[in-house]
Amino acid sequence: MRTNPACLPQTTPNPDLAAVKARQRATWSAGDFAVIGVTLQLVGESLCESVDVRSGQTVLDVAAGNGNATLAAARRFARVTSTDYVPALLARGAERAQAEGLAVEFVEADAEDLPFPAGSFDAVLSTFGVMFTPDQERAASELLRVCRSGGKIGLANWTAEGFLGELFRVVARHVPPPAGLRSPMLWGDEQRLRELFGNEAASLSFARREFLFRYESAAHWIEVFRTWYGPVRRAFEALEADGARALERDLTTLLTRLDRGGGAGLVVPGEYAEVVIVRR
């Protein structure tokens, strides 16, 4: 059964988006998302295939993190620009590109204010990145603006119904998110995407995919995410000892319920939406 987007957290009047963004940047700078990011490389490869990235095309990776879609596009001999607002993540992406001998331009940039002229790119990509912007309409508008007419926008976004949606709801019970923001999981809802991209999309394809989180155990997953994944790390840091233990118990319950590993390692499916938009 699918979650009605109306049941997801919506907005309250006049959130301070600048303050929210500053806190978000600090959150994603905490730990080292690259440790988690490298495990998601398969998603970037799949997205580039769905977008049909070709050699010589100009490709922009928005909120690129440590560069999964960036590297996937560069491996297809596209001319890639990789952006994020966390410089340390761009540096990790640059290290990966150098190790593979891939020519990529790395630019520090905010997904809501991209420093590129209109129509600059044949393809604009984002894997689990732009969905976390506080101003969803502005972010979608920027993706459209920098994509040329007839070009493609490719997105991989976690869904509300999947593991990450459940994870963020568990965390929110212990550490409430900032008031006034739409849930980032709305980027994994087809109706919401059609609202965001509207008449500027000549077509929009929406497919549900699964990424499998593979770890040694639930305890191992919690250790890794508590150490390296900013939102989980910050949640634990915000809690006193009793609260942290309660969050750990709830995460263990969630992971155990979703585990497909059958006792041979943790295998948790994470549903995401793979979206390809053709720019009008």
Q: Is the dihedral of CA 58, 64, 68, 69 positive or negative?
A: negative
Give the separation between CA 103 and CA 27, rounded to whole angstroms.
Answer: 29
Structure tokens at 211: 């990424």
Give the separation between CA 204 and CA 200, rounded to whole angstroms.
Answer: 10
Structure tokens at 195: 């609202």
Question: What residues of the chain score a pLDDT lower than 70?
Answer: 1-13
Q: Are 152 and 279 in contact (CB under 8 A)?
A: yes
Query: Phi-psi category of 263—alpha, beta or left, where left has phi over 0 and alpha has psi -120 to 50?
Result: left
pLDDT per position as a tens digit, 157-177: 999 999 999 999 999 999 998
Closest CA to 278 of 189, 191, 199: 199
Per-residue pLDDT, 13: 55
Q: Are 71 and 41 in contact (CB under 8 A)?
A: yes
Per-residue pLDDT, 180: 82
Per-residue pLDDT, 190: 98
Exposed (0-12), middle (13-18) or buried (19+): which is 112, by Cβ within 10 Å?
A: buried
Give the separation between CA 192 and CA 182, rounded to whole angstroms.
Answer: 11
- Chain-centroid distance, C-alpha 32: 15
Residue 18 is inside which H or E element, if any? helix 17-29
The domain spans of the chain are 10-160+178-212+271-279
**Mode of pairing for the β-strands spanning 147-158 and 58-61:** unpaired
What HEC string does 111-175 produce?
CCECCCCCCCEEEEEEECCHHHCCCHHHHHHHHHHHEEEEEEEEEEEECCCCHHHHHHHHHHHHC
pTM for the whole thing?
A: 0.93
10-160+178-212+271-279, what's its fold? Rossmann fold (3.40.50)
pLDDT per position as a tens digit, 58-96: 999 999 999 999 999 999 999 999 999 999 999 999 999
Give the separation between CA 20 and CA 111, rounded to whole angstroms.
Answer: 14
